[in-house]
Amino acid sequence: MENCFENLKNTIAALRGPDGCPWDKKQTHESLIICLQNETQELIEAIQNKDDENMKEELGDVLLQVLMHAQIAQESGKFCIEDVVKYLDEKLHRRHPHVFGAHAKAATAEEALSLWREMKQKERERK
């Protein structure tokens, strides 16, 4: 199970590789927008229907979209999936000072959301 993600990354790379799937190799960030929208909507419907089995499948389809976009970006030398994961991890730490920091505290979901928004605003101001 520990190599599942690495295996999946290799599968995506193979699909877009020289001997890969013609449809997958043809895709661009722009051409995949409709797929991302469709898969996201299908996930939303599975959640609303409380259909755990379908939700598992649809989460996989959304993950496929993330991996495809990351693979396309990697092929053009922009970034890779590890960059996406690292950025997300760092952002989650920054935006949860009540969990990962020494000073901020949040006793309720509302307080946590307020801290999230505060940290997000600070990030925007720095850009």
At residue 125, the pLDDT reads: 92
- 68 inside domain: yes
Counted domains in the chain: 1
Query: Is 105 a member of any domain?
Result: no
| 53 located within any domain | yes
- Domain assignment present for residue 15? The answer is yes
Structural domain of 16:
4-79
List the CATH number of the domain containing 52: 1.10.287.1080
Return the C-alpha torsion angle 25, 28, 32, 34, nearest 10.
Answer: -130
Distance of CA 99 to the CA centre of its chain: 21
The amino acid occupying position 49 is N
pLDDT digits (tens, 9 = 90+) for 44-102: 999 999 999 999 999 999 999 999 999 999 999 999 999 999 999 999 999 998 899 87
Name the residue with tokens 């940290």.
119
**Region of 77 on the Ramachandran plot (φ > 0 left; ψ -120 to 50 alpha; else beta):** left
Q: Is residue 56 part of a domain?
A: yes
Q: Give a yes or no: residue 39 inside a domain.
A: yes
In a domain, 104, yes or no: no
Q: What is the mean pLDDT of the chain?
A: 95
76: tokens are 């053009």
Answer whether residue 34 is part of any domain.
yes
Neighbours of 28 (CB within 10 A): 10
Task: Measure the CA–CA gap between 115 and 110, rounded to whole angstroms.
Answer: 9
Closest CA to 40 of 17, 71, 65: 65
